[in-house]
Structure 1
Amino acid sequence: MTHTKRLFAASALVLASLSAVAAVVGDNFNLPEIDNTRWSAPESYRFIDNGRLALGQWGFGNTTSNSGVTVTQLSTSQTDASPSRAVKVTISVDDVDHLDGCAANTTPSTVRARVIGNYFSTRAGGPVAGDFTGDVLAQAWLRRSSNSTDAPGVLRVAGGVPQCTNADCSTSNNLGGVDLGTANVGDKVTLQIEWDAANNQFLFIRDGGAPVAVPYTVTITGTPGRPFNNVSARAEVANCMAGRAKAGIGAQFDNYGIVR
């Protein structure tokens, strides 16, 4: 028997064997959302809708511990990643869904829609390309946490200035933050961040109001190690051994502007 004929015979035997196996339906997808007992990946969407960018991110906590959170996010970044002097965007949250906490975990689940950028490095000896360590970011967001005492549908509007302490910025120091009040799901909120380098501060502005300053005393040693400017939907979901917690947010972004 030739080599080709042997391969054909072997393939026919495998197909015959498979045809004799009773099919088992793993998921017929008749639930309104992904069955998180069968599928592990987070859920997300990104598209343009009526002249606005829509981003949505739903994540799951792990079930191996009752501490910390599992972070997932969906973002879109500008191709020009150089630091900005000012950035402005209008954000409206469409949906906060499955904001599960965990009774045994003191860290709440949190979801947010945000604008964020990387501005400068404070790393001793200067920045290292591709490494966040020492980079200082500024961000502004609409957020809700699983331990919120606000009425349903109420979001917290705020901003912050983290200083990354490791290569992927999964840990950071908080150089300061601002409380910009509350908003409701569906409200359009315009957020602006200005880097006032001459006065060693960031300015946060909501809906054209008075700026709120976050001063810093760190020493700038260069441009960021990993520069970026983006908008994102982010889910930080509590880990829970009792079952997979889930949390997510969907939002629209419009009128993004940047000054360099």
Structure 2
Amino acid sequence: MRFFTLSTLMLAALASTPSIAAETYVTYDAFNAASGTLSPSLWNQIELGREVKTGFASMRQRNLGQQISNSGTLNLSHSLPFDEPWRITQMRAEITVTSASTVACAANTSPTETNARLTGAFFNNGVPTPGNATGDVGAQIRLVLRSNSTAPAGTLQVEGLAYRCTNPDCSSTVLVGAVQNLGTVAVGSMVRAQVEWDQPNKRFLLTRDSNPAVSIGYTDSDTSGPGNPNKLLGIRQQLANCFSGPRTEADLEARFDNVAVNASGTP
């Protein structure tokens, strides 16, 4: 009489199962380019940089869009998150975009855009799940360039807005109130951005430079902390998909300086 253990039977079954790979493997990228750079024909995220220099932090992001359709976008972010962000109810930073460019897709109604921003989530409008941003409500100020802009070359739009996350990583949001037009700024010129959560009055206060604060009110319940309490300096890019034309592109480099938070917001 012969006896087989469960593990013996499983190994025998696996040995007799054909490989699920329908094709042979071929090299995609061995990273041997003499240029020392990533190939734009293989990768979407081409350049990503962050360094601290004397007196400021510098960040750069350059990405390419997807050639899968003529609708929709690819959204990518690069950030410098604050430590212990749940302590922060006020934050301020000087932001200078030193270079910015976008390439559109003629067949896609969505523009390509790139922005430098000060942003963060302050509360959740329901019962938060740790690590899940769904229902988180936050605010930001951003310096943005869009491929469909009619402004003179080298001009960025400065915007303030509040948002509610509608999925776990907050890649999908809806506006709380309207986007606030905070004017324009030239590439190379500094904007001092200030974002404050005024919980007693159920509003966010967004301030550019020494201008009066712009208020965005909300009606959401705000007694619960955010599921993902991130607050950060960063770059975000939205690249239009383009199947019928050249790949879209977004490139931005920015400096962040003199960052400040409420006194109790430091670690």
TM-score by length of 1: 0.85
Query: Of 224, 238, 241, which aligns to 1:239?
Result: 241
Using a 3 Å threshold, how does the CA distance of structure 1 residues 206 and 29 change in structure 2: closer, same or farther?
Answer: same
Alpha carbons 1:83, 1:229 under 8 Å: kept: no
Q: What RMSD, in angstroms, separates the aligned Cα atoms of the two structures?
A: 1.8
In structure 2, the residue matched to 1:212 is: 214
TM-score by length of 2: 0.82
Secondary structure of residue in 2 paired with 1:205: strand
**1:6-85 superposed matches below 5 A:** 27-29=33-35, 34-85=38-89
1:7-64 per-position Cα deviation (integer Å, ceiling 9, x unaligned): xxxxxxxxxxxxxxxxxx963328xx75412444331110012210001111111111
In structure 2, the residue matched to 1:154 is: 155
What is the CA distance between 1:178 and its match in structure 2? 1.3
Give identity over the alignment, percent.
34
Query: Could you tell which deviates more after superposition, 36-45 or 73-82?
Result: 36-45
Alpha carbons 2:61, 2:252 under 8 Å: kept: yes
What is the CA distance between 1:139 and its match in structure 2? 0.7
**1:102-117 superposed matches below 5 A:** 102-117=105-120
In structure 2, the residue matched to 1:94 is: 98
In structure 2, the residue matched to 1:8 is: none
In structure 1, the residue matched to 2:9 is: none
Alpha carbons 1:234, 1:248 under 8 Å: kept: no
2:186 is aligned with 1:184: yes
Using a 3 Å threshold, how does the CA distance of structure 1 residues 211 and 41 change in structure 2: closer, same or farther?
Answer: closer
In structure 1, the residue matched to 2:224 is: 222
Give the count of matched residue pairs.
232
Q: Write the letter of the residue equivalent to 2:33.
A: D
Alpha carbons 1:102, 1:240 under 8 Å: kept: yes
Gaps of 5+ in 2: 1-30
Tell me how far apart the structure 2 counterparts of residues 237 and 243 of structure 1 sit (CA, whole Å): 12
Tell me how far apart the structure 1 counterparts of residues 149 and 34 of structure 2 sit (CA, whole Å): 36
What is the CA distance between 1:105 and its match in structure 2? 0.5
Secondary structure of residue in 2 paired with 1:70: strand
Q: Write the letter of the residue equivalent to 2:98.
A: D
Gaps of 5+ in 1: 1-24
What is the CA distance between 1:181 and its match in structure 2? 0.2
- Structure 1: 4+ residue segments shifted above 6 A: none
Secondary structure of residue in 2 paired with 1:112: strand
Alpha carbons 1:116, 1:138 under 8 Å: kept: yes
Q: Write the letter of the residue equivalent to 1:168.
A: D
What is the CA distance between 1:234 and its match in structure 2? 1.5
Alpha carbons 1:84, 1:195 under 8 Å: kept: no
Tell me how far apart the structure 1 counterparts of residues 44 and 208 of structure 2 sit (CA, whole Å): 37
1:160-201 per-position Cα deviation (integer Å, ceiling 9, x unaligned): 111011111121110023111000000011010111111111
What is the CA distance between 1:127 and its match in structure 2? 0.7
Using a 3 Å threshold, how does the CA distance of structure 1 residues 83 and 238 change in structure 2: closer, same or farther?
Answer: farther
Q: Write the letter of the residue equivalent to 2:85.
A: A
Alpha carbons 2:59, 2:253 under 8 Å: kept: yes
Secondary structure of residue in 2 paired with 1:210: coil
In structure 2, the residue matched to 1:20 is: none
Alpha carbons 2:92, 2:195 under 8 Å: kept: yes
Tell me how far apart the structure 2 counterparts of residues 37 and 248 of structure 1 sit (CA, whole Å): 17
